[in-house]
Amino acid sequence: MSRKRPYRSYTDEFKRDAIRLIEQEGLPVAQVARDLGVNANSLHNWLKKHREERGDDVSESEQEELQRLRRENRILKEERDILKKAAAFFAKESK
């Protein structure tokens, strides 16, 4: 059985330094995570929180477009599923 790693707490300064490496130095998240011994998902979360606090995450118009595209995607998937069922039905009928 594998053991879980103990929960690690990182200082705000450590998090800021990690974010700086990504944003200012242009290093990939995976590389910074590996170099610092941090889980990449944690680093992504820190970065997202930092950008939200800074206010440059997603604008209102981008959020509206994202909602519209998700709605359109859902409708298209529903239409696709209906067409699949209809095709299967008519394929059985023709035999």
Q: Where are the domains of the chain?
A: 8-57, 58-95
The confidence score (pLDDT) of residue 56 equals 62
DSSP string, 47-82: HHHHHHHHT-S--HHHHHHHHHHHHHHHHHHHHHHH
User: Which residue in 24, 63, 18, 5 sits closest to 44, CA to CA?
Assistant: 18
Q: What is d(CA 84, CA 79) in angstroms, rounded to the nearest whole number?
A: 9
For position 2, what pLDDT does the model report? 61
* pLDDT on residue 68: 93
- Position 83 scores a pLDDT of 98
Task: pLDDT tens for the chain, 95 residues: list them.
Answer: 566 666 788 999 999 999 999 988 888 999 999 999 999 999 999 998 988 888 765 677 877 888 899 999 999 999 999 999 999 999 988 87
Which CATH architecture best describes the domain 8-57?
Answer: Orthogonal Bundle (1.10)
Closest CA to 20 of 59, 56, 50: 50
Note the pLDDT of residue 21: 93
Residue 46's H or E segment, with its range, is helix 40-54
- Using CA atoms, how far residue 90 sits from 33, 69, 79, in Å, is 53, 31, 16
Residue 69 to residue 25: CA distance in whole angstroms: 33
